Amino acid sequence: MRKFNFCAGPAALPEPVLLQAQQELLDWGGRGCSVMEVSHRSPEFTEVAETAEQDLRDLLAIPDNYKVLFLHGGATAQFSAVPWNLFGGPGRVADYIYTGQWAKKAIAEARRYGPVNVVASSEDRNFSYAPGPDSWQQSEDAAYFHYTPNETIGGVEFDYVPEVSCPLVADMSSNILSRPIPVEKFGMIYAGAQKNIGPSGIAVGIVRDDLLDRALDGIPRSLNWRVAADAGSMDNTPPTFAWYLSGLVFKWLKARGGVSAMELESRRKSAMLYDFIDGSDFYSSPVEPGSRSRMNVPFVLADDSLDGAFLEQSEAAGLLNLKGHRSVGGMRASLYNAVPMEAVEALVAFMADFEKRMG
């Protein structure tokens, strides 16, 4: 029996996608072999790749002057790829907003290739909010402006898109495909797949055409967006199974009404959990209300000596992976697109029962 999986990543995948992959595992499309066993340059897999790209373009309304890339190395590789690809253009400093662990990693990597200006930080309140534009200290001539719209670990999400004069870059690993986004406001969007796109092993990049030729000299070929774009993301053998599964997820999303429907669903799911937490003296949220993530909901128990019992009993109840990240502790429920409303209902029911018995 399938259980409810609240893992932050690799995360839950839609059951219909898993069932289709299961059915096609040994005989994909009547070919007598798996999709993992065909050439990535074959007409059959080329169709998979092209269809996945078009479906993603449809879901996010990606303009024609943007390239869609399917990349190796997850979002972490893009922490390096972003400065490598953009520091060679106008401007010699990069602006970053520091909102938690993933922004911290991106900043540290960018500093290896050029100067970084931290425009704003939420460290003063333990990364519990998204800094507003009135607090920013922007550079006059930045090569690009980078932010993390959703911090997976801290559960902080921006409710707005920054307005900047230089190329805007975003690590959307945790909330891509959970709502419509104005792609035309961004220079580059990247996202590791293992949360809302598909399995780990692949990342998506959406890059505006005019940014493809700004790379620093000596950039590794595997990180060069121009090389990836010109080769159709197949300069070398791509992670074909992850690409195929991501394509199935895109089909599933379209069948469910696309990202607008996902936004409504994500708001319903997160509101149910936050409302319960806010109405309890036993549980609390460490994130300020205006910055709370719809995708990752951290919470703590009033008595942290009960954390072990909570985790043990929730797992026994079929509620998996609720332990908070090791750097912050507590609990965390990740409510990505593939996590159904029934999972949140079951979680809230368990939390209410646990509070009644243990509070």
Q: Compute the CA torsion angle 180, 182, 187, 189 (nearest 10 deg).
A: -10
- Chain centroid to CA 21: 22
Record the tokens describing residue 150, joined without a space. 């959703």
Catalytic residue check, 141? no
Pairing of strands 94-98, 144-147: parallel
Q: Which amino acid does the sequence have at 101?
A: Q
Choose among 338, 350, 288: nearest CA to 314: 350
Count the Cβ atoms, other than its own, within 10 Å of residue 4.
Answer: 22
**DSSP one-letter code for 289:** G
Q: Is the peptide bond before 115 cis (omega within 30 degrees of 0)?
A: no
Is the torsion defined by CA of 70, 72, 74, 77 positive or negative? negative
Q: Give the H/E segment covering residue 117.
A: strand 116-121
Catalytic residue check, 102? yes
* Candidates 28, 84, 102, 225; catalytic one: 102
Q: Is 230 helix (H, G, I), strand (E, B) or coil?
A: helix
* Candidates 28, 55, 67, 195; catalytic one: 195
With contact defined as beta carbons under 8 Å apart, do 98 and 110 qualify?
A: no
**DSSP one-letter code for 15:** H
Catalytic residue check, 28? no
Pairing of strands 188-192, 203-208: antiparallel
Q: Which residue's structure tokens are 């399995």?
A: 199
Q: Distance between CA 192 and CA 353 in Å, rounded?
A: 36
Q: Is 133 helix (H, G, I), strand (E, B) or coil?
A: helix
Q: Distance between CA 82 and CA 211 in Å, rounded?
A: 10
Point out which residues pair with 121 in neighbouring strands: 98
* Candidates 55, 67, 171, 269; catalytic one: 171
Residues involved in catalysis: 102, 171, 195
